[in-house]
Every structure is written in C-alpha cells, then in structure tokens.
Amino acid sequence: MTDDGAVTRVEAGPATYWKPGTPILWRYRENAGEAFHIARPVTVVRDDAELLAVWLAPGTECVRPVLADGTPVHLEPLESRYTKPRTVQRDRWFGTGVLKLAQPGVPWSVWLFWEPGWRFKNWYVNLERPLTRWSGGVDSEDYFLDISVQPDRTWHWRDEDEFAQARRDGLMDDETAERVRAAGRDAVAAIEAWGPPFSDGWPRWRPDPAWAVPSLPDDWDRTPAHVSS
C-alpha cells in the first residue's frame, strides 16, 4: 500500500492471503461480455481459507455502469434497462460503508449495511459467480437476484423482476438461471440455519480508524494475467 492508499499490484502471480489493512479491488464483469463495469477499492479485514472480509469505506472512488447518455441505470425502465447502450463512469460511494464477506467457492457474498451512528440495518446476500482471485483483488459476475436479511433473521427476495428481465434479454441462459436459483435456495438454507457468517458477530465489527481510503487505480479494468479460485 502506498502512502496515499493506492492499490498496488504484484506481478509475480496470484495472491495467497492478504494481510488485514491491504487495499485490493473488488470487480464485476459485464453479464454479456468480458469487460469490467464495476470496480470498488476495498480494504482487507480478514483473509484465510474460510473467509474473505473487506471494507468498502464511505467516499471511496468507484466505477459503475451508466447508460451511454449518463443516465443512472436504475432510472431506466426495466424493459429497456439491459438493452440500451452503456458506458462506465467514476463516482463516489456515498452513505455509510459496507462490509463484504465471501466464502471461497460459494456463489454469493454477504454484505452488511449500517445506518448513521453504526446502527445495524441489514444483511444483503448478493448472488454472484464465486470470486476469482488475482494479484490485485477479486473478480466476479453479478447474478441480479438477491436476498435481504433483517436483524430479526427474517428474509425476502430482492430484484426478482431484474432477474426475469435479464433472462428475457439474453443476459443469462436457462442453465445459468437454474444454477442461480439453486444457489439462492442454498443461501436461504444458510440463512435459516443461521451459521457463519451470520452467526459470527460481524454487526459489532468496526473498521480500524488508521486505515486510509484506497484509491482507484488508472488501470482498474486491466485483465489479470494470473488468476486462481
């Protein structure tokens, strides 16, 4: 890590385990292509054989997709949201930060959100391709369908309409869609069993105040030469 918090890269090969406080990139590829359209510099909280935990700090400069005319994606009607031309733009992560938890090989990550003043709000299960690790971070592909989990352990599906529209628009074939549905059922079973990471006390976690906010590198969309699962 440089003095200004920039993400640094190691060209020798894929990372093993990153130390707490290490800045890395968490990226998502497009659903119909190989380009990256989401990139978020994050700070490693924990990284081992069981879990990767990272902190997305408030104010972090990120990359997000927008329509070609600059319109935010969520403002476009669902019927044309995935068919209109897109580009990407740099932006800031506003509001409170997000703690992201990912278990190796598992097709979802669990995000924790807080209200101002560190009042825990909810967990968010983001269904996605299992993370691929490289020397500078991790990559995935978002699967549209999500699950919101409240502090009282109740849960509900989110973005089912987007999942259905993505299928209609050819962003996901039938085989992939069935895998996503199966992953969702497994995630619900994990929620209802209330095992890790839900049972691990993460809502009480707080970031190290000495951590700098990582910077977004100019080559955030570079395709890594070495990857591992």
Distance CA(187)–CA(122), nearest Å, equals 16
Supply the pTM of this predicted model.
0.90
- What lies within 8 Å, CB to CB, of 144 at 6+ separation is 31, 127, 159, 162, 163, 166, 172, 180
pLDDT tops 50 at residue 169: yes
Question: pLDDT for 128-159, tens place per residue?
Answer: 999 999 999 999 999 999 999 999 999 999 99
The whole-number pLDDT of residue 224 equals 76
Q: Distance between alpha carbon 125 and the CA centroid of its chain, in Å?
A: 10
Question: Which CATH architecture group holds 23-212?
Answer: Beta Barrel (2.40)
What is the percent of the chain where pLDDT is above 70? Answer: 91
The whole-number pLDDT of residue 4 equals 47
Domain ranges of the chain: 23-212
Please name the residue that has the structure tokens 């972090």. Answer: 60
The whole-number pLDDT of residue 34 equals 85
Distance CA(101)–CA(51), nearest Å, equals 7
Question: pLDDT for 84-116, tens place per residue?
Answer: 999 999 999 988 999 999 999 999 999 999 999
Distance CA(128)–CA(133), nearest Å, equals 14
Average of pLDDT values for 11-26?
79
